[in-house]
Amino acid sequence: MIEKGKIGVHQLTVLTILFTVGSSILIAPSGLASAAKQDAWIAAIVGLISGLSMVVFYNLILSRFPSATLVHYSQEVLGKWPGKAISFLYFCYFFLLASFVLRNIGDFLTTQVLPNTPIHFIHAFFLLVIIMGLRSGLETFARTAEIFFPWMIVFFLIMIFLLPPQFDFHNVTPILGYGVKPVLTASIPLLSTPYMELVAFFMIYPAVRNAPKARKALFVGVLLGGFLLILISLLSILVLGADVTGRQTYPSYTLAKKISIGDFLERLEVIMAGIWFITIYFKLGISFYASVMTFAELFRLKEARPLYLPFGMIMVVLSVIVYPNITAFTQFATKIDFPYSIPYAFVFPFLIWFVAVLRKKGCAREKDLG
């Protein structure tokens, strides 16, 4: 393992929450409302339950290899060359994921905040901050997450306390008015983003000091992050209604614009922007870190830090071409992302776990499972 720094269990929980919320807090309510209408919040609950089931499965793998990365145990279990091939595919998956997240940042800023700024300049400046953070090491990155996490919670609480005057409870009725099928359909894209993307933590988990407690921290982090996504989906429906939420690209940002207390406290969309900048910074950082570490360990490099800048330059270009416009992104997120993620989120992990059990690889002792 190249990473020498260690992070605590609480830091892993914070990173998991921020990763789960990530870019989804801005874009998830729209997709959920488009398919499930006023039952978007129920679809978010179904997505969370499915995501937690995947975390339970991932913990089976992590319990067998508590101190090894995905690159290491894939080669140990499947053999050198099959393991290397799968590791390289994971590098591509993590790197492309980071590119998608970076493009989300550029699209939001160029459409909502800085419409006259070239998108590649936004990508370059934001990624430069990411590189500066990651080059300091995972331990420093995790400590930074601890510092910013309370601010994210404060911003979220401000929204919750200021929005009730705008609630219309008729917007959430009738519950399950269109049946169960639209709810299940809406939950599938949410399962792929963000829950399937949690495989990136396979490259972070070995750096956690207490492996048994870390598995619980991963579960708790996803649970709390998923709860925040359920809450923002419910707030969007209560304030904007299902039709407006489904038509908006960033409904939660529009939601924050609805805050109005008297004639002096209005248009507090900066609160939602603050939440999103914090969460997406750490999601992009984790995705980029996972891709660089996978590449470095795959090719047996002694140090990963020199890779951040050249890989960042490649990502700035790739982030511009991953999808040409918002419509293409919506098509990818709703129709392609789920089947695209299945091999990385389920097929390869299941293959590794199944073969490890058959070949009795890894540590599955009862005391380790503690």
For the chain, how far is it from start to end, CA to CA, in angstroms?
24
Strand stretches in the chain, DSSP E: 260-261, 265-266
Q: Which of 45-54, 143-152, 248-257, 285-294 has the lowest mean pLDDT?
A: 248-257
Mean pLDDT for 336-345 is 94
The whole-angstrom separation of Cα 287 and Cα 296 is: 14
Q: Is the dihedral of CA 113, 119, 125, 126 positive or negative?
A: positive
- Residue 27, pLDDT above cutoff 80: yes
Question: How does DSSP classify residue 144?
Answer: H
Q: Are 66 and 368 in contact (CB under 8 A)?
A: yes
> Residue 42: CB partners within 8 Å, gap ≥ 6?
36, 175, 176, 183
Question: What's the token pair of residue 225?
Answer: 């992050």
Q: What CA–CA distance (Å, rounded) separates 208 from 183?
A: 36
**pLDDT value, residue 30:** 92
pLDDT band at residue 367 using 50, 70 and 90 as cut-offs: very low
Task: Please check the confidence at residue 314 and state whether its pLDDT lies above 70.
Answer: yes
Identify the burial level of 198 via C-beta atoms within 10 angstroms of its C-beta, where 0-12 means exposed, 13-18 middle and 19 or more buried: buried
- pLDDT value at residue 5: 79
Whether pTM exceeds 0.85: yes
288 neighbors 133 (Cβ within 8 angstroms):
no
Band (306; pLDDT cuts 50, 70, 90) = very high
* Tokens 């990818």 found at: 332
Residue pLDDT, tens place only, 220-239: 999 999 999 999 999 999 99
pLDDT range class, residue 263, cuts 50, 70, 90: low
**For residue 7, which phi and psi values (nearest 5 degrees)?**
-120, 155
Averaged pLDDT, 296-302: 92
Mean pLDDT calculated for residue range 335-362: 93
Helix and strand element counts for the chain (H, E): 17, 2
More confident residue, 328 or 226: 226
Is residue 133 within 8 Å of 315, Cβ to Cβ?
A: no
Which pLDDT does position 81 carry in this prediction? 95
Which amino acid appears at position 161 of this protein? Answer: F
217 and 226 Cβ atoms separated by less than 8 Å: no
Question: What's the whole-number average pLDDT of the chain?
Answer: 90
Q: Per-residue pLDDT for 197 more than 50?
A: yes
Q: How confident is the model at residue 369 (pLDDT cuts 50, 70, 90)?
A: very low
**pLDDT tens-place string over residues 49-86:** 999 999 999 999 998 998 899 999 999 999 999 999 99
Q: d(Cα 316, Cα 181) in Å, to the nearest integer?
A: 39
**pLDDT-based confidence at residue 264 (cuts at 50, 70, 90):** low
